[in-house]
């Protein structure tokens, strides 16, 4: 038995209530959905899409309510179980079809887990351009060889516009972006970026942390008049922050990834969390790490560019585990060619911007080959094609975004509801 407020009941029309002894357990034929415990309700949850984007979710108000319309206050296992406002759109029957007939608002039926084959998610094969796409150039509606991308809790897209030496922000449906860091002058001064390759937004203060590749530094950008250099003498391709407030940076030259406690970065060497044993191709080594991803267990995933593989280094691990590629450079489904942007979902699927194969490929744990997700239709500028895949991320609704490097655009591939 449990209690739901009228507000919750109202909000749950067209959504599924689930009850599960195991919170976050399977509640849908879509394996990407799970049962989120509802704040303030005992043994009741809402079956919702499980993407973990703590940085994009707003904490609930003290009354366990959400002031935003169409949001419900749930506990999210990926966000320290603290109550966060979750978009009801993600708890839709269309996205998370129930395993058994929809359990109405008062049932205490325990859902059975199914052993039938898990249906994988699908994304539209024709992308929609959400940034750039107007040839290369430095106008506000253009990009020039962009790489890392980041989506914040407002669904604003931040793009490391590498050859324009700037960071752009594109609001949803915008026809042009705004410059939020740098400009078109290359330079060494603190206010100048030199071929930035990756970007994250710090949700606490909306500052940007930028892999300022060509200046050999990582900078924190508070606004156009105030910036700080966090890390010097590092050819850094990618930066990430984990949920415990650690900053991670890949170091291309030293074949390693290091991490720092946020707020205690400047002047500190950091701790090696992947590689750090020089160049090589065995499990202790990396060869030019580019993009990284950090999961909630603080495992670090590394695009091991020169080895055409992706490695996972668990917390405190002394060697990495192969998660993708590792069968030489090539275009078969078992191979990668210069892996670039990375994203790992809650189920441990790794999405890889497979740079020279012009595709995004997904590897599941323990598999010997990946599955093609989008692209892979040869080089070109059609909507189902990419010309060098450099960055990859998702929004809170599970739509896929890919930086299409030589088409100077970012493509959005909509999640197809099942």
Ligand X SMILES: *[C@@H]1O[C@H](CO)[C@@H](O)[C@H](O)[C@H]1NC(C)=O
Cβ nearer to ligand X, comparing 95 with 99: 95
Least spacing, CB of residue 131 vs ligand X, in Å: 14
Q: Looking at 222, 319, 327, 406, which residue binds ligand X (CB under 6 A)?
A: 222
- Which x/- pattern, by CB under 6 A, does the window 362-401 give for ligand X? -------------------x--------------------
The count of residues in the chain is 418
Cβ nearer to ligand X, comparing 187 with 314: 187
Least spacing, CB of residue 178 vs ligand X, in Å: 10
Least spacing, CB of residue 407 vs ligand X, in Å: 6
Q: Is 328 helix (H, G, I), strand (E, B) or coil?
A: coil
Q: Is residue 179 involved in binding ligand X (CB under 6 A)?
A: yes
Structure tokens at 74: 């749930």
Transcribe 193-215 into DSSP letters: -SS--EEEE-TTT--EEEEEGGG
Count the site residues for ligand X by CB under 6 A: 12
Per-residue DSSP letter, 89: G
Cβ nearer to ligand X, comparing 172 with 278: 172
Q: Is 11 helix (H, G, I), strand (E, B) or coil?
A: helix
Near ligand X by CB under 6 A, which window of 11-19, 67-75, 114-122, 177-185?
177-185
- Measured CA to CA, the distance from residue 204 to residue 60 in angstroms comes to 16
Answer yes or no: are the C-beta atoms of 14 and 104 closer than 8 Å. Answer: no
- Which x/- pattern, by CB under 6 A, does the window 223-242 give for ligand X? x-xx----------------
Phi, psi at 196, each rounded to 5°: -65, 140
Site for ligand X in 283-342 (CB under 6 A): none
Structure tokens at 87: 């978009």
Q: Is 4 helix (H, G, I), strand (E, B) or coil?
A: coil
Cβ nearer to ligand X, comparing 174 with 317: 174
Kindly tell me the burial class for residue 173, based on how many C-beta atoms sit within 10 Å of its own C-beta (0-12, 13-18, 19 or more).
exposed
Question: Could you give the angle at the alpha carbon of 70 between the alpha carbons of 67 and 71, nearest 5°?
Answer: 60
Near ligand X by CB under 6 A, which window of 179-187, 277-285, 323-331, 347-355?
179-187
Q: Is 27 helix (H, G, I), strand (E, B) or coil?
A: coil
Q: Is 51 helix (H, G, I), strand (E, B) or coil?
A: coil
Site for ligand X in 157-176 (CB under 6 A): 172-173
Q: Looking at 5, 122, 135, 383, which residue binds ligand X (CB under 6 A)?
A: 135
Least spacing, CB of residue 379 vs ligand X, in Å: 10
Give the footprint of ligand X on this chain (CB under 6 A): 135, 138, 172-173, 179, 183-184, 222-223, 225-226, 381
């Amino acid at each position: 038995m449990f209690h739901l407020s009228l507000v919750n009941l109202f909000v749950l029309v067209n959504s599924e209530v689930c009850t599960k002894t195991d919170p976050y357990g399977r509640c849908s034929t879509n394996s990407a959905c799970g049962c989120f415990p509802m704040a303030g309700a005992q043994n009741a949850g809402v079956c919702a899409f499980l993407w973990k984007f703590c940085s994009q979710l707003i904490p609930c108000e003290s009354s366990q309510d959400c002031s935003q319309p169409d949001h419900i206050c749930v506990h999210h296992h990926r966000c320290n179980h603290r109550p966060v406002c979750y978009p009801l759109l993600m708890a839709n029957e269309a996205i998370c079809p129930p395993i058994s007939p929809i359990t109405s608002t008062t049932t205490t039926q325990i859902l059975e887990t199914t052993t039938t084959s898990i249906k994988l998610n699908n994304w539209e094969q024709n992308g929609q351009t959400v940034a750039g796409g107007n040839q290369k150039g430095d106008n506000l509606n253009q990009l020039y060889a962009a790489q890392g991308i980041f989506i914040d809790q407002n669904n604003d897209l931040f793009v490391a516009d590498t050859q324009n030496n700037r960071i752009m922000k594109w609001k949803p449906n915008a026809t042009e972006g705004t410059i939020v860091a740098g400009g078109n002058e290359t330079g060494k001064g603190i206010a100048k970026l030199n071929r930035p390759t990756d970007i994250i937004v710090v949700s606490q203060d909306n500052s940007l942390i930028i892999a300022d590749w060509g200046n050999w530094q990582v900078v924190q950008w508070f606004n156009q008049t105030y910036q700080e250099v966090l890390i010097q003498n590092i050819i850094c391709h990618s930066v990430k922050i984990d949920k415990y407030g650690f900053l991670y940076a890949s170091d291309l030259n030293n074949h390693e990834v290091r991490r720092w406690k946020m707020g205690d970065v400047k002047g500190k060497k950091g701790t090696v969390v992947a590689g750090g044993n020089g160049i090589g191709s065995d499990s202790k080594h990396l060869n030019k790490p580019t993009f990284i991803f950090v999961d909630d267990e603080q495992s670090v995933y590394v695009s091991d560019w020169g080895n055409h593989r992706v490695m996972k280094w668990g917390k405190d691990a002394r060697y990495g585990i192969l998660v993708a590629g590792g069968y030489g450079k090539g275009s078969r489904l078992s191979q990668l060619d210069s892996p670039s942007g990375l994203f790992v979902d809650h189920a441990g699927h790794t999405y890889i911007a497979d740079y020279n194969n012009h595709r995004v490929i997904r590897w599941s744990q323990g598999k010997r080959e990946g599955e093609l997700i989008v692209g892979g239709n040869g080089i070109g500028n059609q909507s189902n094609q990419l010309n060098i895949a450099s960055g990859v991320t998702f929004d809170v609704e599970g739509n896929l975004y890919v930086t299409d490097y030589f088409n100077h655009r970012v493509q959005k591939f909509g999640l197809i509801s099942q």
